[in-house]
Amino acid sequence: MLKRGFTIIELLIVMAVIAILVSIGIPSFRAMQTEGWKTKSEKDVMALKIAVEAYYKNHGAFPAESGYQTTLLSEVPPMLESSLDDPFKPGTPYVYDLSPNGSYYVIYSVGVGGSGAMSVLDTGNVTVSAGSPIHSSNGW
């Protein structure tokens, strides 16, 4: 009795089919991952906005830009449960920018591509200087 295995052609065809399926699946996975990061950023930025507004109600001023999340974490009771990092730039907190007069702020994620940048003026106008960041502000 002869035992017959797969031929090289059959194995190549199976590997080609698997490669095609993987090449279709990876972009879909990437798109879902990016959408998840966008949603996380929107929720985190809103949580930070609420914490910054609560800080303002308690102290009459917004927290300083440097170490603002540490300030919010050290409040009693804490205004945040833990430090929030931007998923589009892992290990980096969301950017918080105060207007020069300290009356307005903007909190933002660098967004898809990791290049978003914003600032807020003394008038409350928020300017976007790069990319399309996900943001929240008490200005406009």
Distance of CA 53 to the CA centre of its chain: 20
Structural contact between residues 107 and 52, judged by C-beta atoms closer than 8 angstroms: yes
What residues does each domain of the chain span? 38-137
CA 19 to mean position of chain CA atoms: 31
**Splitting the chain (140 residues) into consecutive groups of 10 residues, what average pLDDT does each group show?**
80 95 87 94 96 96 95 93 94 95 96 91 93 89
Predicted TM-score of the model (pTM) = 0.81
**pLDDT value, residue 6:** 83
